[in-house]
Copies of this chain bind each other. A is one copy, B any other.
Amino acid sequence: MSFSMIRGNMESTLATRRRNEILEAALKVFSEKGYHAAKIEDIASELNMGHGTFYRYFENKLDIFNQVVEEIVSMITQLVTDINPHEAETLEDYRRQLEMIGDRLFGLFKSNPSISRVIFYEAFGIEDRGLRERIQEVFDLIGRYIELYLENGIARGYMRADLHVRETALAIGGALFEACKRVVSSSDPEQDLSVWKETIITLIIQGVKKG
């Protein structure tokens, strides 16, 4: 699955197609080698392309990495904001929403495992304030959405009113991302996905306590 497909980009001049190819190749190379070890040459030869060509489409190495991250960020954002946090009227509804999000996030990462490697690992090694902030933003966004779910649950009366919503949301986010990482690198992702979904959802809803 390519960036352009996911974005539903229908217009595809030769130039934009080329651009997307390079973006795709860069994602692959960055995820395999990491930002610093990746050479522009590597990206270019991935496409049997002269490395000078790269610079017709992107300013420089940091520029393309930013854009790769931007693509990923916008995919995740779309995926997260797509579900209405206020819809869930019961705990059961909520559980279904959680499952849906898990499926989607995992679907995204599985469609192109490079995405998870870049967003969860490689992106942290770059000393660029803007980039760091952009990545923080997406994690924060997810956090804020989880907050909305919790607030909705509290308002509807099926969640405890004394929750620290922000912290609880971030904690759930942490657990969620751990699940994503593990499932993506699993040897039996389908099986693991279902176990993880059950685990996360149960943990969130009931905790570990008996009864």
Which A residues have a C-beta under 8 Å from some C-beta of B?
33-37, 91, 120-122, 124-127, 150, 153, 157-161, 163-164, 167-168, 170-179, 182, 195-196, 198-200, 202-211
- What DSSP secondary structure best describes chain A's contact surface? helix
Which residue of B has the minimal Cβ distance to A171?
B175
Q: Are A199 and B171 in contact (CB under 8 A)?
A: yes
Q: Are A170 and B182 in contact (CB under 8 A)?
A: yes
Q: Are B34 and A127 in contact (CB under 8 A)?
A: yes
Which of chain B's residues have a CB closer than 8 A to the CB of A125? Answer: 34-36, 121-122, 124-126
Which of chain B's residues have a CB closer than 8 A to the CB of A207? Answer: 202-207
Q: What copy number does this chain have within its complex?
A: 4
The listed residue (B170, B172, B200, B209) touching A205 by CB distance below 8 A is B209
CB-CB under 8 A for A198 and B164, given A125-B34, A174-B174: yes
Which of chain B's residues have a CB closer than 8 A to the CB of A167? Answer: 179, 182, 195-196, 199-200
Q: A167-B199, A173-B178, A206-B207 are in contact. List 16 more A-B contacts (CB 8 A).
A: A36-B127, A158-B209, A160-B208, A164-B199, A167-B182, A167-B200, A168-B199, A171-B179, A174-B179, A202-B207, A203-B203, A203-B207, A204-B207, A204-B208, A206-B206, A206-B209
